[in-house]
Amino acid sequence: MLFRRERRIGLDAPKAEWLEFLGIDPDIVNVRGPGALREATVFACIRILSEAVAKLPLKVYQDSDGTHKATEHYLYSLLKLRPNPYMSTSDWLRCLEVQRNLYGNAYCSIEYYKSGSKRGQVRGLWPMDADKVTVWIDKQGIYSSQNHIWYVVEADGKEFKLHPDEILHVKGLTVDGLVGIPPLEYLRTTIENAAQSAEYINKFFKQGLQSRGIVHYVGDLSPDAEEVFRSKFERMSSGLTNAHRISLMPYGYKFEPIALSLVDAQFLENTQLTIKQIASAFGVKLHQLNELEKSSYASLSEQQRQFYIDTMMAVLTIYEQELSYKLFLSSELDAGYYCKFQVDALTRADIKTRYDAYRTGIQGGFLRPNEVRDWEELPPVDGGDMLLVNGNMVPIQNAGAAYKKGGGDD
């Protein structure tokens, strides 16, 4: 039995008593699942990753007759604004990315219209609790005559079996290509180290920055007397309210502090190393965690660029491929429909970089002025749909033709 009859506990019992009753040591730092977010570095890394995905517009494109935004497709507005009635696209993406980094997998149920003119179309996308989803690989053909993958979802005390086409599965780092590995399990020791360091600092300040020590007494004390003296002395000398106050000692007692500074314990070096290890595991650059030692403006710009290239491009590709394959029919895929994040939005806040890129594209002859005006939410202008090119540029075979004399005379 899980609960013993001989011990009862009320619903209004303190949290510590409940933890003790369940066999959980309340002093042990819990870094499993959402509990890992209590560690500052983990929280910051997952926040940075989730917001980096959520702030990019998600669009539907078609490339059958030249790539263009497929605004006429019904999925365009669903993915751009509201995947379900209760979440904006930003909230939906942020939720999936947090789950992907916590559990190694993010799951989203695909709801379809079952009747009417929209039958078979996607009605909504609903994030699922990754802790309640199990991936089953049917190697024996129990559910099907062929080997298949099924998703077993636990909800309201029941289990439901979903076909792979009924669920979006966004994976993190994966070994077998089918299921992502939970990063927190592999980083557990490092995260616990960081969390326990924060807990140590917290208790250090709660004690009023006062060090622990040994009380010398000539003679013997009974266990009860020791406990009484210890509780009275700690109540008198510990805590912020007693910081820098004079403590009174009974005659015959002598207090000898045990001083171990954070520098002597290499505490700060260990903390910095732990932060670097966690950030490296999540692919987050140190400057994003406000670790700006030995950094310059040029190096920060380069690190930010590397973050989007080395970390985010792989993450965005995972989302784009899963969404395109699961949300479109085979006929729509053949027609060239696909989902893509508009990564150009990253330069939205940097107007100089954005305008310089526009100028290069227009003068290079591969961007039309009206395309640029559309991105800037400006109305089109007459003549803006033509490709322009610098008149000084000529084919290489015509180089020097302007300097030759007419009629072939030398």
Name every residue whose Cβ is closer than 8 Å to that of residue 215 and which is 6 or more positions away in sequence: 229, 233, 249, 253, 254, 255, 256
Structure confidence by residue, pLDDT tens digits, 92-150: 999 999 999 999 999 999 999 999 899 989 999 999 999 899 998 877 666 665 658 88
Q: What is the pLDDT of residue 5?
A: 39
Beta-carbon count within 10 A of 75 CB: 20
CA distance 402 to 113: 66
CA distance 31 to 19: 16
Do 138 and 178 contact (CB within 8 A), yes or no? no
Res. 24: pLDDT tops 90? no
The secondary structure of 341-382 as a DSSP string is: E-GGGGGTT-HHHHHHHHHHHHHTTSS-HHHHHHHTT----T
Q: What is the pLDDT of residue 290?
A: 81
Q: What is the pLDDT of residue 4?
A: 36
Do 323 and 339 contact (CB within 8 A), yes or no? yes
Q: What is the pLDDT of residue 77?
A: 94
Res. 158: pLDDT tops 90? no
How much is the average pLDDT of 60-64? 87
Res. 263: pLDDT tops 60? no
Pairing type for strands 213-217 and 167-171 reads: unpaired
DSSP 174: B
Q: 371 or 83: which carries more pLDDT confidence?
A: 83
Q: 292 or 213: which carries more pLDDT confidence?
A: 292
Q: 202 or 151: which carries more pLDDT confidence?
A: 151
Q: What is the pLDDT of residue 245?
A: 57
Do 48 and 89 contact (CB within 8 A), yes or no? no
Q: What is the pLDDT of residue 143?
A: 60
Q: Helix, strand, or coil here: 189?
A: helix
How much is the average pLDDT of 12-16? 54
Q: What is the pLDDT of residue 3?
A: 35
Q: What is the pLDDT of residue 74?
A: 95
Residue 338: is it exposed, middle or buried by C-beta count within 10 angstroms (0-12/13-18/19+)? buried
CA distance 128 to 173: 19
Give 256's pLDDT tier (boundaries 50, 70, 90): low
Q: What is the pLDDT of residue 215?
A: 65
Res. 165: pLDDT tops 60? yes
Report the chain's mean pLDDT, rounded to a whole number.
78
Token pair belonging to 220: 């013997």
Q: What is the pLDDT of residue 2?
A: 34
Structure confidence by residue, pLDDT tens digits, 281-338: 899 988 888 877 766 666 777 788 888 888 999 999 999 999 999 999 999 999 999 9
CA distance 42 to 195: 10
Q: 182 or 234: which carries more pLDDT confidence?
A: 182
Token pair belonging to 37: 């977010």
Residue 291: is it exposed, middle or buried by C-beta count within 10 angstroms (0-12/13-18/19+)? middle
Res. 53: pLDDT tops 60? yes
Structure confidence by residue, pLDDT tens digits, 125-141: 999 999 899 998 877 66
The winner for highest mean pLDDT among 248-252, 298-302, 406-410 is: 298-302
The winner for highest mean pLDDT among 100-104, 260-264, 289-293, 384-388 is: 100-104
How much is the average pLDDT of 383-395? 77
Beta-carbon count within 10 A of 278 CB: 24
First-last CA distance in the chain: 108
How much is the average pLDDT of 244-262? 60
Q: 185 or 62: which carries more pLDDT confidence?
A: 62
Res. 192: pLDDT tops 90? no
